[in-house]
Structure 1
């Protein structure tokens, strides 16, 4: 929702527009270079130095405006400071030296003076309607003088002009004036006030959807959806473009032309989606998104943001039992009708009200409700909505339980939820989503104060930080989102969702007897401001009751989505907390295919590849490449003189970020570990630990106080903890839960016995760390999890491995190790697969319960598959899948050739997308599973 430029249109006042901007030098008590933006209500100065604040000068306070030689001077004793140090905060109005001077660069001072003087005179008009009319006339005149820069067009000969119009590009709570030029090949948008790019270019070949919308008060508008669009700097670009046209006929022309480029969306009509959902071919989440789409809701318009239901009612239990009907909200009733006492009071008020009467003065979806949920992700939106201040701390979103109690008891709070409470991956939310401000998305991040915002202190003395989660979420926002999604896709909700659809999109909307009549449903002569303030009921899609989903179809849909919902140990977490309920509920819905490879084959999912390297001199990966997946993100780090560390989207291969690698040219890449979808930890061939965070775009030294004394040789991560090893010791670090600095939890191996870290993962209430010693012995370390506030010391038992085993009976090198719920699996260079029981109570050496000899060298392996199986890659190009007992379920030969060009060097599994990723020595990375296959040609990394 907030762009990459520091100055966002969200900094403007309500209904304020940018008229002109230019480079300038500003002088007051000090001299600064930056950009001046002349707007309809204020003058803004945006300094190029991030630590300096954006300054705002209202025209109503400007005095003695004049031209002195090549500069403009004015007096103003009060200035408002915005976004100091690039951080959103309450706007600060302070006194300053009254003399201000602006020296325009490449702009006539006389023209700037004339424009400012006119706007100052307009600000003195007392009548709001008259003032708005004069401002609009000035803006229209300024727009008419702006000509499209034809040199920005990609081809002056091949492109034929179809339409040119003055339009407004719509973003949440803001608008951008500009010129639209539509040709037979491209769509161009030139902002009136400039920006980082003078013209935005959208190829029509990427158009996959377009629809008419009712923006504001029936203004002609279109929302256009583009596929896989990138900016020149490889950053994720807007995938939806919402435009408001000056005339209805221009809107119709654009709609007709764009319709010729939307072949991929034909057939996805409302009736088809309803049938697909009823048959179990579409999840509840996707169907609700479709209904929002068809009813005119848009992520670009906060007054009509997509609406989702509260599905749970239990936000206080230590464990969540999804087989208990009492855990769910009653979907047959609107939020306002969930409390009988409140409903009685509302109807009493309704009966005493003059016409036109309504039940609810507030709405289940409004701009304020959306920003209430997303304040930590898009604070600038709340600052604009609240006139430059965050809402009172006691009214901010602080607790799931508190918000649930409010919406079920208060007569002025009946808001539902938004899609971000259920989305699991990037692909399930558009870039315009408030939770994807930085392009990336990790489930639950919008519930965390990742920007360290100063949101104030509540009356009880508690500072507003992260949203307080239900106990059953175990302090994990990601766990909360996954459990909420699991509830949405449950049999209980699937069998009752049609009743909620009737209330919001169907035959029971805007009806007194169904308790769904809202203020904006009866208000006549509505204004855009009232829509922003009060919200808007979705367009009715169904005049008859929505059919119930069949029980068999609901079970089929849950089976198709359960593997995604159980990602990152979800199934293990459910069994640990609800051993007799949720675990069994999911188990009986597993696909009939026994293994992951067979599931992929039966589902018709496919393979896609792209080249990881650009350098023709490099060509190959060498002996080793770091390759890791987490949360739908692929990390790669390779050797060579042009080596970089890259993050890609695991499904589309769109590059998210790349940073240079900090190691010299050698055959084996140094340790690196993906901590989350937006950050990773690595070493620069020394004793230091470094972190790179996509949000900040910079490196950070983590280990200045806890250095190893020898070069770090291995790293392995979970989301909130990681292990590093060197010749001197093996250390467990914690990083997360709101901490800013790295913390040393304990030294597992003070003597430096550990040679290799095999894996780190959560198991019940412990962290399990599997390692291999210098003597080729296997060791398993069990560390109890502690809350961030828990100050207890680690017991001495934690310094000793709780389990030991022999790496391989023939003494060959260990090439891989993984953990399941009940087993430890180890592969060796000789091709031996050894399976051990996971007995945490055993202290002595353990023997394998089964040995399997493959007859060929085992290169690497992956576990953690949703089927409970594991995969082993061998040097003859084969991939073998085993169950937990060591039985072969599937053998695929010649997946890759074993020669100088195509030998396998690494592979990993992305549980977020349910895909297998493997890298070949010729620089090609392949993804096997549910991938985009629109473009059959490999893409360059």
Structure 2
């Protein structure tokens, strides 16, 4: 198959390629064979590009704005018209001579070009060229408007051709105009969707395939995207089985985009992988996901894509030492301060920037350039993608002294220059690429620097022996303990609560207002000149990522895991029912285990003791006429039980004797908690109060042992605790969905937050200062207690009414009777069984690996599962 040198990257960004013609070019208006070139003429919105068949000749680009005249050529010997057009140019450009990639050669000389058409009629081609030449004399907004009108007219004449489909009898469910997006290039075409396939038919023949096909069953992830400041983009990722791994589309309107998105999401043939930000955050926090993968995920969620240079993924500088011979990752001085933006790392420069900031009128900004923009992306990647740079800079590379020549020099410039605050790209940490962007692999002549040295490969720090070694060590630094402990601070700046508003001002993180999402609504800017100026400014300046977090991001607490290990290294429990015990006449409300004894209380007001060794009931006592809500062991033999009758009862299991009862609350006692080390009994009630009791095992007035009262607005529904050093914190949940954290020693409420909209019905204190809570409306939520900030949230089909943390797994029982084992490191369900026919309201897990769950109906008591 014949290869072509022409591509849309030869055109200016945003320029449209319409069609091409088989033709001959003669640039001297004579008949000498040496000046005659056979090839194809490309008709584009701003230029004509002639691509010779022979590679020894360069491509010739003729800009309409530099064209003096266009005319039909007449024969020298008569007035007979020949099928040719003469184009008089004031200047023109040549490129890819001998197919060598180099800056375009611009010739500033008046010259005539004679184009003879093989099949097309010169008169028809001249009419189109004259129309485009007139458009080139207009200001950019009017020019764009006129080209859009021409393009729309051509679009209307284009009809999707079903012949190229896998089965042309397939029903087309949806057909729309769309553009396939790649860096700096937009391929216009028609999008058609059938019950099984997405088809994209390009408007022009520049694509390698006349039709692009993506099977719906291969779709894995779909993202809405903001493209060129408008919510019209759609990015689709496919499975490994698909011959096309990715496609990025843009539509005429947000309504068109939403129509396609909803159709794909609702299609029975589409099986999407859905991972919520909260789930990914929890996996990252536990060390299941690496720092690199988490940053790539956040970039994706924040509308950053490698296919859109205006919103390219952004990564931080993490190393500040580019002079030492060895890289010491155990030395904190090796690392950059991740709590500050690049512009605030140098105090002297920041002070000068602040002086300018205070003198400005609103809207103010600290930094006049961005940390990520198309020009900055290609500054780093010019050796890997030289064609992109030539496209962006109209056929030229940057001045040799301003190029990416040395890692150390670039970092120092980012610290000192008053207009340089750029961060890094994923390529700096991507070990699979082996640092290929640092090598001049195409052997391009980028020119010479002021000292006469030729621009070639990037100069690396002394501690890096090669580009591959450089990237590998940067990746090790990114995954190091220091960065893992501080990366959340950088996330706050780029994706989080310090991105905008007052917190951004406090953090010295303020950029020009037009780069923030939503700061400018272009749909409301009706003046074409103003609108075009804003578009250009935003495209060139850069765009702030979409804000993902409005509260401080959680800190990583798990060890860094480069490769996720399988769950075989973790405990896995086999669930099997070994006994069914029917003791109570009404629902069981709580159960505990003491050695071989199983103690339970129920709504029948009775306390039962069952010997699991001899498999028989050994104690049964009616403690009160009202239901019992909860029970705890306060020593080897004494049980404390709370009742709906406002009282707490103490019962000696060994001697079968009720020791004492006392009025603990003004309403029902709903939950109990025993702190063995402190010998404290904590009770919660429907009166909205939590009380702390001491000396409860002694005879006499129990109220003398009351040590604290903690007031709540709603009924207290659950109790738990955590140890923080020498301190003990009490965790409470209430019927209004509020969760509170209390310091026991000071009786102070450390924090309180509305975790749920419905009643909090279960909780489990997890490792790493995290708390899982479940509500009656089916919501599960994991909260970082350090920030009172949600790190994971999920709604399940059946509300979780009971849960317990077993050190490496979470046991959860729900309203449908399912007993599930969750791995909260990977945020997955390891196993799930239908343990009961009705809801599980309590789970007990003890040190000998027994899980107990309880039924909630009739005379049935509970089942024991191993």
Q: TM-score per shorter chain, which class?
A: 0.5 to 0.7
Residue pair 1:359, 1:512 contacting (<8 A) in 2 also? no
Indicate yes or no: 2:54 matched with 1:49.
Answer: yes
Give the 3-state SS of the residue equivalent to 1:512 in structure 2. helix
- Map 1:218-237 onto structure 2 (within 5 A): 218-228=230-240
Q: Is 2:115 the partner of 1:110? A: no
Q: List per-residue Cα deviations over 1:338-368 (Å, max 9, x = no partner).
A: 1111111111100000111111111111111
Alpha-carbon distance in structure 1 between the residues aligned to 2:372 and 2:135:
36
Partner of 1:242: 248
Q: How many angstroms does 1:226 deviate by?
A: 2.1
Distance 1:116 1:456 in 2: 37
Where do residues 342-421 of structure 1 align in structure 2 (5 Å cutoff)?
342-421=349-428
Q: CA deviation at 1:187?
A: 1.6
1:319 paired to 2:310 = no
Deviation (angstroms), 1:297: 0.7
Taking structure 1 as reference, are residues 122 and 394 closer, same or farther at Cα in structure 2, changes over 3 Å only?
Answer: same
Corresponding residue of 1:748: none
Matched-pair contact (CA < 8 Å) for 1:304–1:536? yes
Q: CA deviation at 1:184?
A: 1.7
Paired residue secondary structure (2:199):
strand
Instruction: Tell me, yes or no, if the aligned pair for 2:11 and 2:391 is still in contact at 8 Å.
Output: yes
Shift in Å, 1:601: 8.2
CA distance in 1, matches of 2:27, 2:427: 44
Report the CA distance between 1:407 and its aligned residue: 0.8
1:255 maps to 2:261 = yes
Aligned equivalent of 1:187: 198
Shift of 1:53: 1.4
Alignment of 1:72-87 (within 5 A): 72-76=85-89, 78-87=91-100
CA contact (8 A) 2:218 2:242 kept: no
In structure 2, the residue matched to 1:120 is 133
CA distance in structure 2 between the aligned counterparts of 1:546 and 1:97, rounded to whole angstroms = 62
- Indicate if the aligned counterparts of 1:20 and 1:192 stay in contact, CA closer than 8 A: no
Counterpart of 1:61 (choices 60, 66, 69) is 66
Post-superposition offset of 1:70: 2.8
Q: CA offsets per residue over residues 544-566 of structure 1, 9 Å max, x none? A: 1011111xx124x25x38xxxxx
d(CA) in 1 for partners of 2:96 and 2:231?
33
Task: Tell me how far apart the structure 1 counterparts of residues 281 and 551 of structure 2 sit (CA, whole Å).
Answer: 13
Q: Distance in 2 between matches of 1:200 and 1:210?
A: 18
For 2:56 and 2:110, the matched residues in 1 are separated by 20
- 2:718 — aligned with what? none
Moved more, 194-203 or 414-423: 194-203
> Which of the two has greater strand per residue?
2
Cα displacement string for residues 144-175 of structure 1 (whole angstroms, at most 9, x for unaligned residues):
11222221111012x22122122222211221
How many residues align? The count is 537
Which residue in the other structure is 1:129 paired with?
141
Give the whole-Å Cα distance in 1 for the aligned partners of 2:556 and 2:460.
31
1:260 to partner: Cα distance: 4.1
8 Å CA contact 1:11, 1:384 repeated in 2: yes
Larger radius of gyration: 2
Select 1:151's aligned residue among 163, 176, 182: 163
Write the deviation string for residues 898-917 of structure 1: whole angstroms up to 9, x where unpaired: xxxxxxxxxxxxxxxxxxxx
Task: Write the distance in 2 (CA, Å) between the matches of 1:78 and 1:214.
Answer: 38
CA separation in 2, counterparts of 1:66 and 1:189? Answer: 38
- Cα deviation for residue 327 of structure 1 reads 1.0
TM-superposed CA distance for 1:87, in Å, is 2.9
Comparing 159-168 and 105-114, the one that deviates more? 105-114
Task: Select which of 139, 147, 170 maps to 2:181.
Answer: 170
Counting only pairs closer than 5 Å after superposition, residues 265-304 of structure 1 correspond to structure 2 as: 265-304=272-311
SS in 1 for 2:38: strand
What does 1:367-766 align with in structure 2 at a 5 Å threshold? 367-425=374-432, 442-474=433-465, 476-510=466-500, 511-519=504-512, 520-521=514-515, 524=520, 527-550=534-557, 553-555=558-560, 557-558=561-562, 560=563
What SS is found at the alignment partner of 1:363?
coil
SS of structure 1 residue aligned to 2:263: helix
Q: Which runs of 5+ in 2 are unaligned?
A: 29-34, 74-80, 523-533, 572-866
- Contact 1:495-1:554 within 8 A present in 2 as well: no
Report the Cα offset of residue 456 of structure 1.
Answer: 1.2
C-alpha separation between the residues in 2 aligned to 1:111 and 1:173? 30
- C-alpha contact 2:221 2:274 (8 A) present in aligned 1: no
**2-side partners of 1:295 and 1:14: how far apart?**
24
Where does residue 770 of structure 2 map in the other structure?
none
Q: Name the SS of the counterpart of 2:417 in structure 1.
A: coil
Instruction: Encode CA deviations 1:514-563: one digit per residue, 9 max, x unaligned.
Output: 1111113466466332222110111111111011111xx124x25x38xx
2:741 equivalent in structure 1: none
Alpha-carbon deviation of 1:203? 2.1
TM-score (norm 1): 0.55
Tell me, in whole angstroms, the C-alpha distance in 1 between the residues paired with 2:185 and 2:535: 12
**1:6-42 Cα deviation digits (max 9, x unpaired):** 3222211243111222333323352223222111110
> Equivalents in 2 of 1:185, 1:326: separation in Å?
56
Quote the Cα distance in structure 1 between the aligned partners of 2:472 and 2:436: 12
Change (3 A) 1:24 1:200: farther
Q: Partner of 1:766 in structure 2?
A: none
Deviation at 1:95, TM superposition (A): 5.6
Please give the alpha-carbon distance, in whole angstroms, between the structure 2 residues aligned to 1:32 and 1:228. Answer: 44
Question: Where does 1:872-883 land on structure 2 (aligned, <5 Å)?
Answer: none
2:171 is matched with 160
Which residue of 2 is the match for residue 88 of structure 1? 101
Q: Which residue of 1 aligns with 2:18?
A: 19
Q: Structure 1 282/305 Cα, relative in aligned 2: closer, same or farther at 3 Å?
A: same
